[in-house]
Chain A
């Protein structure tokens, strides 16, 4: 049987000009809809704007930003723009502080969500003949139900295995002839480890051919390791629970950035400090406006995720913009001597050196009279009794860091265990000891 390469051929390959017209039409509809929610009603009043002010896509700039804190403050229904009787589901995520957030859906919202996920899965080669095992948590975690409905929409035989019980996961994969697995990257690695312990070679003993990994930040190196282990392609899924969950952006077979569906979302990249648009191709905070949602439209939602738009057309034929692999969270950004630096930039350089461990610490301090100063300490894993090795490494790391962040840090190699953090706690990577005045 032969299929189209695209799940929604017309929408996925729509010429940019036409796509922008569709976006404007949907944005205008969205703005009219969102003021029915108490939060936006109040915001629009405060800012003295009305839905009629949106006459072009550039007018997006007139609209207010929305943050996660707004969702918490207006918990639970303050951003819902339809009567609750029209809603058929909510997803809620609890934060570490304050109220949780609630995201509501009408039946149409759920249908559109399933379509978006189906489009993603189809893009990476999923077809009705496939057996799709979803090894992600169900319930409030959106990757469970999100992928479930998307995979059913494709027409695959779905195995809603959920996360955990790895031995049973592997039994399902073997017994049901699972060809596609979705899991968070760390769990995919776990499945592979247990397969090895059981003497199972995923290349020979299973029919696996595609992995979808997401919901957890991971590096290109981590992805490649997963691909090598399983001997299949692993595609990056980008979801945001406030948008809906998975289905926001997904990698295409080119594996060069994630297509973000522009008939569902308007994408902006902004400088998280000035809130002004970033220059084309520059990294900044991803800001998303939903334009295909009834129950809970969000205007200019600040995702806190740092990425950039990739330039040029994608060889896969899809005209929708591509976002680069995430570069961390805007909350992590360091400003030193007027330069924006993200710890992930430093981490990426350090990872190039096999002599170093993954533990590092960035310290910012004020040293008079030079002013603010950055020290990067990193643990040495392999030491060969040669001081020149340490010196040479220090020089080379310093040079590469300067090329990347445009500031010359002091690099200090330290023995293993010096910077270690406990497993349960998130590693402290940045210590800011600067004097503010």
Chain B
């Protein structure tokens, strides 16, 4: 799955600008997460049309990356995430970041390994 990753200045207004640009392009956001770092923020977005969204944001001059991320689909039941991640942990895979959301009654686990 493709994910947008936007390098943002840690200032109010920057996230709003991204959202407005995507709205203008008719992009629907499925899930998003903000990681705040020391001086900046990284805003990661899963949406319905990542290629178009990427063009919109890069044309607007934003520092944006289109990243291929790993996805595990889970049944909407307790404990599924732990089961899904167990084999990765056994293999000693180093996870850079991870987040999850619900889509059409299924859990979706998004992660990137280092």
The finding on whether chains A and B are genuine partners in a shared complex, rather than unrelated, reads: yes
Interface size bucket, A side?
A: 10 to 19
- Contact B7–A380 (Cβ < 8 Å): yes
* Chain B contacts for A420, CB-based, 8 A: 61
Report the stretch among A17-25, A140-148, A411-419 that lies at the interface: A411-419
A401 to B35, CA, bound (A): 28
B9 at the interface (CB under 8 A from A): yes
B114 at the interface (CB under 8 A from A): yes
B22 at the interface (CB under 8 A from A): no
A416 to B9, CA, bound (A): 9
* Chain B contacts for A415, CB-based, 8 A: 6-9, 14, 40, 62-63
- Contact A386–B9 (Cβ < 8 Å): no
B60 → chain A, closest Cβ, in Å? 8
Given contacts A380-B63, A415-B7, A415-B9, contact A385 B35 (CB under 8 A): no
* A-B contacts at CB below 8 angstroms, number: 50
* Chain B contacts for A388, CB-based, 8 A: 96, 114
- Contact A385–B9 (Cβ < 8 Å): no
Restricting to A357-391, which residues have a CB under 8 Å from any CB of B?
379-381, 383-388, 390
- Contact B5–A385 (Cβ < 8 Å): yes
User: Quick one: CB contact mask for B26-43 with A, threshold 8 Å, 1 for yes?
Assistant: 000000000101011010
Given contacts A380-B7, A385-B5, A386-B96, contact A413 B39 (CB under 8 A): yes
A304 to B9, CA, bound (A): 37
B67 at the interface (CB under 8 A from A): yes
Main secondary structure of the interface of B (DSSP, over half): strand
A386 to B65, CA, bound (A): 10
* Chain B contacts for A418, CB-based, 8 A: 9
B74 at the interface (CB under 8 A from A): no
User: Quick one: CB contact mask for B50-61 with A, threshold 8 Å, 1 for yes?
Assistant: 000000000001
B64 at the interface (CB under 8 A from A): yes
A191 to B64, CA, bound (A): 34
B66 → chain A, closest Cβ, in Å? 9
Restricting to A126-174, which residues have a CB under 8 Å from any CB of B?
none
B35 → chain A, closest Cβ, in Å? 7
- Contact B37–A384 (Cβ < 8 Å): no
A418 to B35, CA, bound (A): 19
A117 to B84, CA, bound (A): 76
Closest B residue, CB atoms, query A386: B96
- Contact B65–A383 (Cβ < 8 Å): yes
- Contact B42–A416 (Cβ < 8 Å): no
Restricting to A387-437, which residues have a CB under 8 Å from any CB of B?
387-388, 390, 412-418, 420
Closest A residue, CB atoms, query B39: A412
Q: List 22 A-B contacts (CB under 8 A).
A: A383-B5, A383-B7, A383-B64, A384-B65, A384-B67, A385-B5, A385-B44, A385-B65, A387-B37, A387-B96, A388-B96, A388-B114, A390-B37, A413-B39, A414-B9, A414-B39, A414-B40, A415-B6, A415-B9, A415-B40, A415-B62, A420-B61
The 7 closest A-B pairs by CB, nearest first: A385-B5, A415-B63, A385-B67, A383-B7, A417-B61, A416-B63, A385-B65
Q: A385-B44, A416-B62, A417-B62 are in contact. List 20 more A-B contacts (CB 8 A).
A: A379-B63, A380-B7, A383-B5, A383-B7, A383-B64, A385-B3, A385-B42, A385-B67, A387-B42, A388-B96, A390-B7, A413-B40, A414-B9, A415-B8, A415-B14, A415-B40, A415-B63, A416-B61, A416-B63, A420-B61
